[in-house]
Chains A and B, each alone.
Chain A
Amino acid sequence: MFSLEDITQSVHNWLYETMHPTLALMVEFAIIGVLVIALFAFLGLVLVMMERKVSSWMQLRLGPNRIGPWGWFQTVADTVKLIVKEGMTPNNVDRLLFNLAPILVIIVSMVIMAPIMFAKGFQIWDINIGVLFVSAVSSLSIIGILMAGWASNNKYSLLGAMRSGAQIVSYELSAGLSMLTIVVLTGSLKMSDIIQAQETGWWLFKGHIPAIIAFVIFIIAATAETNRAPFDLAEAESELTAGFHTEYSGMKFALFFLAEYVNIFVVCAIGATLFLGGWMPFHVGNWEQFNHIMDYIPTSIWFFGKTFFLIFVIMWFRWTFPRLRIDQLLNLEWKYLLPISIFNILLVTVIALAGWHF
């Protein structure tokens, strides 16, 4: 059966057989770099297209339908346009920070890709503190946003960046705590261990009520962390025109745009890994026949299917809800999500200690 694990393993073996280990490692780095950038391009094209189609279908519209079959090449055309567009730097901005900010944001979203398991045995780096790594690195993107907002020398940008700062710092907490729920249940921070623990069933179903609560909180916090509606206060197009990226154009804007979509993919991939079993096929108890059929579907399909389902849910939020106000946003976190998360983690600790989960 087709398996990404075999391919990577044979490439790895061949490289180490034919060249010096250091050189082989370098070549592997290069391959991974190219693959990650390719994945970025792919995600940028697919997710933007998906967003536009989902929104148009919810809004009684047709969506992009001119370029290519059913408009599928629209995003390619958009990308070409953004690449050839002049990357304008306005007068009197802080040039260094202004140009650095989009690169920082995109690098952060590249780095979070590391511990994500795309299929069985297909992972860049199975770091033993995988969940912690994701949680830590994803906080860095706020630096890029603050940088962009400050360096733009624009009041709208500054307001957007400050909102974003308050927002991401708050929502880190409940996102971290809801991830911790699964860590408590699994007993490991390693992504591969977490997925392995869900062989008999996904944590969403195995973990009783605490896992479901944690899942809901995670989805809300993930939406907030990626600055998506209804938490898109940093952009808030009807209030701040475009928030922190008001002054950006061309490819620099595209990098922010791309980072947003890649961040959605990453948080949804983490959500799928933690709660929906990552690449693990859907198994039901002792239905041998059913489980066997499920196993035939490649693991990468399972992973991307779950991730894209979560992405769809987040897009569904965006095209349904109005935006929160900044104080309500913080209220929601500090008065509702955080107390519930803390209570939830106590509950799950009791369950894990007593061994009540399946």
Chain B
Amino acid sequence: MYRETDIIQTIPGTDEMVINVGPQHPSTHGVLHLVLTINGEIVKKVEPHIGYIHRSIEKMCESLTYRQFIYSTSRMDYLAAHTNNHACAMCVEQGMGIEVPLRAQYIRVLMDELTRIASHCLWWGSIAMDCGAVTPFFLAFREREMINTIMEETCGARLTMNYNVPGGVMADIHPTFQQSVKDFVRHFRSKIDEYDELVTGNIIFQSRLKGVGKLSKEDAISYGCTGPTARASGVSCDVRKHFPYEIYNQIDFKEITHTAGDSYARYLMRLAEMRESMNIIEQLIDNIPEGDYLAKTKAVLKLPKGEFYSRVETPRGELGVYIVSEGGTTPYRIKFRSPGFSNLSALDHMTRGHKIGDLVAIMGTLDLVIPDIDR
């Protein structure tokens, strides 16, 4: 019997119905709102609606000085606050022509890589949880907790570190920093094999991800995907390799790429990145040079009139910071090019024709952080 109040209605003339995933939904990891058009289990169309957590950080930054605005970017991609701050600090340094001391560069890179591992740890737990396995989430948090403790010791906060300032870092590393990082790397090397045993090798997990959500190299480029999402499709786009910042050009590390472009490739991509990050950390941790951790800067920073752009490789891809300066103490305009936004735009293309369960897995492998998309 048809009633006006029936929610379960198909789109007239088709067998398709519209279903809202989010803004409150366990698998969107935040307040992303997807409007799905489905035919039974098959996803026909995905329409992301964003803006639920828009805080206009870019506009806010226009009223903050060049020292102050950095802190607010911690709230964008909160899983990689350090890399966000890093990009902003770098952009200001570029504009001012500040030379960052070598010690500060080492510390920044170390922190970036630790952040990358921490972010990927959380991602690993959440992709497993999206696929229905809950235990990996807790295992991942054990490792993440160790990194957070290291961060807390040195930076003073666990999530929104605000450790980068124009000219270097806010404080010198804690005396126990090197030892605890080495302990962590040793611990994590053994645990990441356990990750493989529990999740990577699992036949159910593999069949959930393999061949699902294919993104070809051309599509990845045309959607502007960056980071592990694009590299899994064979696009070599690691900012650390192509536009080396800080001391990345002196470090021996591989840019990992896969060619399959499916969810499993993106999964393997991130696991391999964690291992590569550990290699980078091991190269640097014993060789931190002595010296200043902060360059001498003026009390009031004024960028010269002009436009400045800097980019870093965050765990999710390329984060660009674009500052237009009119020569004052505050930026005239700031634009953040966040990786999540571009990666999300490929979701519709990747998901069409797959099942609802695949949508969740694909979203998981894209590693979306909603505040990063909305800013």
Write the residues of chain A forming the contact surface with B, with a CB cutoff of 8 angstroms.
55, 58-61, 91-92, 153-156, 158-159, 162-163, 229-230, 232-233, 236-241, 319-328
Contact = CB atoms under 8 A, between A and B. Distances in A.
A140 B319 CA distance: 55
Given A155-B17, A325-B355, A325-B357, 13 more contacts: A59-B135, A60-B139, A61-B138, A153-B6, A236-B357, A238-B27, A238-B130, A321-B132, A322-B133, A322-B208, A323-B208, A325-B208, A327-B355
A320 B132 contact: no
A149 to B, nearest CB: 10
B228 to A, nearest CB: 20
Interface in B349-375: 355-360
B193 interface: no
Interface of B: 3, 5-8, 17, 19, 25-27, 40-41, 128-135, 137-139, 142, 198-199, 202, 204-205, 207-208, 355-360
Contacts of A241: 25-26
Contacts of A232: 132
17 contacts: A59-B139, A60-B139, A60-B142, A61-B138, A92-B5, A155-B17, A162-B40, A163-B41, A238-B26, A322-B131, A322-B205, A322-B208, A323-B132, A323-B208, A325-B208, A325-B355, A326-B41
Given A155-B17, A237-B26, A323 B207 contact: no
Contacts of A158: 8
A326 B355 contact: yes
> Chain B's interface: helix, strand, loop or mixed, by majority?
helix
A241 B198 CA distance: 25
B132 A229 contact: yes
Contacts of A237: 26
B162 to A, nearest CB: 30
A342 B355 CA distance: 30
A55 B139 CA distance: 12
B41 A159 contact: yes
Contacts of B5: 91-92, 153
B142 A322 contact: no
A238 B40 CA distance: 18
Nearest to A319: B135
A229 B129 CA distance: 12
B63 to A, nearest CB: 40
Contacts of B131: 238, 322-323
A268 B164 CA distance: 58
Contacts of A236: 132, 357
Given A156-B19, A237-B26, A321 B357 contact: no
Nearest to B199: A322
A153 B133 contact: no
A60 B143 CA distance: 12
4 smallest A-B Cβ distances: which pairs?
A323-B132, A322-B131, A92-B5, A59-B138
- Most chain B C-beta atoms within 10 Å of own C-beta, residue among A91, A158, A320: A320
Given A153-B6, A230-B204, A60 B138 contact: yes
A153 B198 contact: no
Nearest to B142: A60
Given A232-B132, A328-B208, A155 B19 contact: yes
B32 to A, nearest CB: 14
A230 B40 CA distance: 21
Nearest to B127: A322
A241 B19 CA distance: 13
A320 B201 CA distance: 12
A229 B358 CA distance: 17
A153 B358 contact: no
B7 A321 contact: no
Contacts of A155: 7-8, 17, 19
A159 B130 CA distance: 17
B243 to A, nearest CB: 37
Contacts of B25: 241
Contacts of A159: 19, 41, 356
Nearest to A166: B41
A327 B5 CA distance: 32
Contacts of B132: 229-230, 232, 236, 238, 321-323
A162 B40 CA distance: 9
Nearest to A61: B138
Contacts of A162: 40
B144 to A, nearest CB: 13
A155 B208 CA distance: 23
Given A60-B142, A92-B7, A159-B356, A322 B202 contact: yes
Contacts of B7: 92, 153-155
A58 B135 contact: yes
Contacts of B207: 324-325, 328
A240 B355 CA distance: 12
Contact of B128 (A58, A92, A322): A322
A158 B10 CA distance: 13
Nearest to B3: A92
Given A92-B5, A156-B19, A230-B204, A325 B358 contact: yes
A58 B128 CA distance: 15
B160 to A, nearest CB: 26
A236 B27 CA distance: 11
A319 to B, nearest CB: 5
Given A153-B6, A159-B356, A322 B26 contact: no
A291 to B, nearest CB: 40
Contacts of A328: 204, 207-208
A326 B41 CA distance: 9
B19 to A, nearest CB: 5
B365 to A, nearest CB: 13
A239 B357 contact: yes
B357 A323 contact: yes
Contacts of A154: 7-8
A319 B134 contact: yes
B115 to A, nearest CB: 23
B360 A239 contact: yes
Contacts of A239: 27, 356-357, 359-360
Contacts of B40: 162
Contacts of A55: 134-135
A153 B8 CA distance: 6
A238 B360 contact: yes
Contacts of B41: 159, 163, 326
A158 B199 CA distance: 30
A337 to B, nearest CB: 14
A156 B205 CA distance: 23
